[in-house]
Amino acid sequence: MQRNDILTLTIDKISNLGTGIAKFDGEVIFVSGSCPDDVVKAKINKVSKNYAEAETVEVLSPSGHRIQPFCPMQKVCGSCQMQFIDYEYQLELKRQIVQDTMKKIGGLDIEIPKPVPSPKIRNYRYKVQYPVVQKPSGRIIAGYYKPQSHECVNIKYCPIQPQICDEIIEFIREKAPEYDITGYDEKTYGGMLRHVVIRCSEYSEENLVTLVLNSENVSKNIKDFAKAIKNGFDKVSGVCVNFNPKKTNVIFGEKTQCLLGKDYIEEKIIDKIFKIGADTFFQVNPSSAENIFKAVKDEVSRFENPKVLDAYAGIATFGIVVSDYAKEVVSVEENEASISMAKDVLIQNNIKNVKLYAQDTLKYLKSCGRKFDITILDPPRKGCTREVLDETLTHTKTEIIYVSCNPSTLARDLKYLCEKGCKVKNIQPYDMFCHTYHIENVSIISV
């Protein structure tokens, strides 16, 4: 088997990255654009020692779960890897991904239930991050990168986000040249506008637009452009700029400035109103996130006046949601902008029993000198370090609620906690990112 070979393959199962898995002469091949039970012609793109990677070039015999993608850009864009699979089967495949990952990485022989489906499977993504690129012809494009590349696909219509996002992006594409604003060029590090980030509210339908600049200051034409964006859309509540002149793939720089309107939008989760800024963390699918928050709140309600630690808290969403049933909540988040937003939320919702700390989780745990009945962990995709897990065990009396967007790191961390004497009571997946291989999980661990 060599690169560029065309092979006929039968797809046996799905990988944790959403690609089909087939075997040829005993070797494993990961096949993009395929579904279990497909028979496909696939082109080999990469051959490694233990596996090969391929892409589907023709479906010879389709799986019964194949459907027509509702987005015309699905194959080109690549962001919705599983959109050609019917939604019910997507959920089953994600269940299998979690089950296999827990067994292979975590050593956990635990039955994983069907994921809780997203209440919306279209127009569900309420955060948009589009790179902006200047073409040699002078044309500005904005969209998503093709899979495993930095080739930007110009997206004019995306059915997984609110329609107004398409309209705002199109306005920016068309009007930017009128204000002498150029798109970014990764090769020369030139151009002014690197990204457009839109935070949308399902609750208020307001939108916060942030222009990420290849600059350390705001020029008059940027200010005029921001005014045009704000005036052009009734539902744009504010326009911000973020400064990122560094040669990096990171979207946001360290400083954000609001030019017009508000520097936040408001979102409602259960019965609480939250403020979300340009670069503060909040789940992109509010209706699916609400299912997770309800589940965590219900779990906390089983305890009588517990003391709760809300670690990696973001804008303290979990801490605020469970505060109705807690004697005290301590929310710890190292991002000061998020903590500032959370302070406003506490006042707005008249919450008195939540304390906020703008601090790294590990540093807080090492210095707090106290124990909590329940600890809620909601770390980034890389999961927790062993040191954080050790400190969590030291400071938790009864239960850890671990919320994770990455089954692999969750399985790794659960394995470590079990080695320390903990017991995984259950794991429940939630479909936060429809039509992708990503899956959110909530795990309940007794300590």
Q: What is the pLDDT of residues 257-289, one digit of tens each?
A: 999 999 999 999 999 999 999 888 889 999 999
Dist. CA 422–CA 425, nearest whole Å: 9
Taking 80 as the threshold, does the pLDDT of residue 418 lie above it? yes
Dist. CA 222–CA 148, nearest whole Å: 32
Question: What's the whole-number mean pLDDT along residues 148-165?
Answer: 91
Confidence (pLDDT) at 151: 85
Work out the mean pLDDT of the chain and round it to a whole number. 95
Confidence (pLDDT) at 147: 75
The residue type of 122 is R
CATH code of 6-66, in short, is: 2.40.50.140
User: Using 50, 70 and 90 to split pLDDT, how confident is the model at 146?
Assistant: confident
Question: What's the whole-number mean pLDDT along residues 424-432?
Answer: 97
Taking 90 as the threshold, does the pLDDT of residue 103 lie above it? yes
Residue ranges per domain, the chain? Answer: 6-66, 103-119+285-446, 127-268
**Same CATH fold assignment for domains 103-119+285-446 and 127-268:** no
Dist. CA 342–CA 439, nearest whole Å: 26
Taking 90 as the threshold, does the pLDDT of residue 13 lie above it? yes
What percentage of the chain reaches a pLDDT higher than 90?
Answer: 89
Dist. CA 375–CA 326, nearest whole Å: 12
Taking 80 as the threshold, does the pLDDT of residue 389 lie above it? yes
Q: Model confidence over 164-213: pLDDT tens digits?
A: 999 999 999 999 999 999 999 988 889 999 999 999 999 999 999 999 99
Give the tokens for residue 395. Answer: 């400071």
Fold of 127-268: OB fold (Dihydrolipoamide Acetyltransferase, E2P) (2.40.50)
408 sits in the region (left: phi over 0; alpha: psi -120 to 50; else beta) called: alpha
Which pTM does this prediction carry? 0.93
Contact 174, 132 (CB under 8 A): no
Instruction: Tell which CATH architecture fits domain 103-119+285-446.
Output: 3-Layer(aba) Sandwich (3.40)
- Active-site residues: which are they? 405
Confidence (pLDDT) at 431: 98
Q: What angle, 0 to 180 degrees and rounded to 10, lies between the N-to-C axes of helices 361-368 and 386-394? A: 30
Confidence (pLDDT) at 187: 86
Dist. CA 230–CA 239, nearest whole Å: 7
Closest to 341 (Cα-Cα) out of 278, 284, 276: 276
User: Using 50, 70 and 90 to split pLDDT, how confident is the model at 117?
Assistant: very high
Taking 80 as the threshold, does the pLDDT of residue 148 lie above it? no
Check residue 85 and report its DSSP letter: B
What phi, psi does 64 have (nearest 5°)? -70, -10
Contact 137, 188 (CB under 8 A): no
Confidence (pLDDT) at 174: 94
Confidence (pLDDT) at 67: 97
Identify the weakest region by mean pLDDT among 74-83, 164-173, 256-265, 426-435: 74-83
Please give the sequence-ordered ranges of beta strands (E in DSSP) within 333-434, or none if there are none.
354-357, 372-377, 396-404, 423-430
Confidence (pLDDT) at 150: 80
Confidence (pLDDT) at 58: 96
Helices H / strands E in the chain, number of each: 10, 22
Question: What's the whole-number mean pLDDT along residues 19-27?
Answer: 94
User: Using 50, 70 and 90 to split pLDDT, how confident is the model at 145?
Assistant: confident
User: Using 50, 70 and 90 to split pLDDT, how confident is the model at 229?
Assistant: very high
Q: How many residues does the chain have?
A: 447
Closest to 22 (Cα-Cα) out of 57, 52, 58, 49: 52
Q: Model confidence over 291-306: pLDDT tens digits?
A: 999 999 999 999 999 9
Question: What's the whole-number mean pLDDT along residues 301-314?
Answer: 97
